[in-house]
Chain A
Amino acid sequence: MGNIFDFLVVNPMTNIMLLIYGLFNNYVIAIVLLTVLIRLLTLPLNLKQMVSSIKMAALQPQMKALQEKYKNDPQTLSAEMRKLGFNPLSGCLPTLIQFPILIGLYNAIMRTMAVNPFSLLELGKHVYSFLPGLSSLVPINSQFLLWDLGQPDPFFVVPILVVATTYFSTKFTMAPTTDPQMKQTNQMMSWMMPIMFGFFMLSAPVGLGIYWVISNLIGIGQYYLLKPRLDSARALHAAPAATTMTAVAVASPAPKAPPPKSKVKPKSTAKIAKSGAESGKK
């Protein structure tokens, strides 16, 4: 399994990183360019995740109504949720898919920095022999300004930057919600993630921190570039959400005032949501 992961993910990244380093003779540039490249490749996944978050946030009122209605019938609740287009994994799946890519990039950075004999040995095993000259680039020059990119930051500048950019990246890219509980969860995440990564960076090489900062900055930039498209997706979801709210209410007999009949069915909402998600991709 590890070999397949190496073959498909880590080895190509490692060799591309060495190639870029060979072109510019600067490891920071290599990290930046490879990060940009990977962020571009994972852009569709990011977009899907963002639209999905918006969709889920828009579906919150209907879901709340369904929960209330079927609180004693979890199986029907689950079926109705599916009809509504709810998928608990849709927000996390793109993130989970990106994880191997991030882990691959982490491994590629650690390998190419070759901070210890083991990582250099691993690098030696995986340098493509059909690309001439890569071995001559080893060991990479890890000195950058005041830092040795292969060492933890003695000045704590990079960990602080990691904390700051992770905070803003998490905050900006989280889907807005009106649900107080979700708000609380989001707030907790927006603090917990930066602190965890900052803590990790205290003992991790500066090169890895630079990757993380660049990745966060690109993420923030990406968010602002895509904002108009996301806003339109949000608007698309907001309208059918109101309609479906009515539909859900119709289906559930209210004790006092029975709601007016509606021709809109939950199934159609799912379709609208889907088309909205697709329009968000365009």
Chain B
Amino acid sequence: MKTISSPRAGERAAISKLAAIIGSILLLTACAGEPPPSAFPGMSVYGDFAYLANNFHLSKWDLKSGAQVWQFPATQDTATPIGPFSGTPAKYGDWIIIGGSAGLNGGYDRHVYAVSDATGAEVWRFTGVREFVDGVVTDGKLIFAPSGDGVLYALDPSNRDTNGEPRVAWKFQTGNRLWSRPLLADGRLYQASFDHTLYAIDAATGQEIWRFDTPNAPVAVQPALRNGVLYFASFDGYAYAVNAADGTLKWKSPVDGWVWTDPSVGDTLLYMGDVRGRVYAFDLQSGERKWHFDALDSIKAHPVLANDLLYIVSMDTFVYALDPLGAGRDSNGKVDRNAAKWRNETLGRRLMTTPVIYGDNLLVPPLDGEVKIWSLNAKTGERGIRMPAAPTGTTMP
């Protein structure tokens, strides 16, 4: 029998529903499990093991078996949770170093963690002021940790205080967030800052050598170095080539959106992608744009050059293997998506982590979902093993 509620009951029901919706949202916000990622995951491969920093865990994977070796933290302490983690894990002796990252709603973890490579147990932590979004780099002695407080910290793990925290050998202050790792080369650190500047810093002393000011916007990439020239791009709509010796401009060339990918350098071309999904190839010498390719969503992961292919992963969920020289481009220099050597949709998940070549395979970590790492045949894009393996009895998607 069809029932019709009374008007007052109807009004009350409407109010109750409204309250229930708001209540549910708040309840979900407060009580849901692991929140969605808020920063960009990072992966590195050392030997036959992959290290993946994604959301609230750093995990180690055996690439031969596809099994997870450990995850850090093994269990989250609900009273004092740590993480999220993002950026590329770095190996320092028997330790894996990772930074705490920025979370949802403005929260952040302001620590750099050293984790035992063997066991995944915490060895020490350094307490900073703000988040360490992109991880660290190391010269084997010092650990260089860029922070959201605008400071590049040089940590000396051989010199620790009574709490076990490494002492700061030196620190270099910039004017805004450091959300990208520095490039370490020839005893220098090249650090990009949100204060619109690229700095060259003496890695031993922390003294500034030169600075290059982009006029209008933050720089959030680790520059690439080739033959004495640094290549990078900014949110100001330009790609730059700067002489590493003195920081003078060699050329600059326009791009269409914010560039947040570290550039990759080939023999003659420079590659990068932007947040609107466009991939660019510039001539290394002149900066002339040779070709471009449009993915369907943002490019955050760095382009990877290997096997005479340029691998691009995008938030549009596709892995693209392109011809590095832009074969099949039209008269405007546009490479069509159909001209890709191969492309592979990875479980329909967004891809933001720079893939890594491992033997004949391309390791691709999806941003979220059950599969942490996909292993694809680097030449064909065919799916290989997934990590973790699918539960017994299920078919591979």
Contacts and interface: CB of A to CB of B under 8 A. Distances in A.
Interface in B1-15: 2-4, 6-8, 10-15
Most buried by A among B11, B104, B196, B257: B11
Interface stretch (B16-24, B265-273, B373-381): B16-24
Contacts, number: 133
Given A138-B218, A185-B15, A117 B4 contact: no
Given A115-B106, A121-B300, A138 B235 contact: yes
B106 A113 contact: yes
Contacts of B208: none
B20 to A, nearest CB: 11
B305 interface: no
Contact of A189 (B19, B106, B176): B19
A49 to B, nearest CB: 12
Interface of A is mostly: helix
A117 B40 contact: yes
Nearest to A63: B7
Interface stretch (A12-20, A87-95, A251-259): A87-95
A200 B29 contact: yes
B290 interface: no
Nearest to A66: B7
Interface string A199-224: 11001110000000000000000000
Interface in A113-164: 113, 115-119, 121, 124-125, 127, 129, 133, 135-136, 138-139, 148, 150-152
A91 B11 contact: yes
B39 A95 contact: no
Q: How large is the interface on B (under 10, 10 to 19, 20 to 34, 35 or more residues)?
A: 35 or more
B356 interface: no
B107 interface: yes
A75 B3 CA distance: 8
Interface of B is mostly: loop
A205 B106 contact: yes
Contacts of B179: 117
A124 B102 contact: no
Interface in B206-224: 215-218
A233 interface: no
A92 B15 CA distance: 7
Most buried by A among B2, B37, B104: B104
Contacts of B275: 121, 124-125
- Nearest 8 Cβ contacts at the A-B interface: A88-B10, A116-B102, A124-B258, A74-B4, A116-B38, A124-B275, A136-B216, A115-B106
Interface of B: 2-4, 6-8, 10-15, 18-19, 22-23, 26, 29-30, 37-40, 86, 101-108, 133, 176-177, 179, 194, 196, 215-218, 235-237, 256-258, 260, 275-276, 298, 300
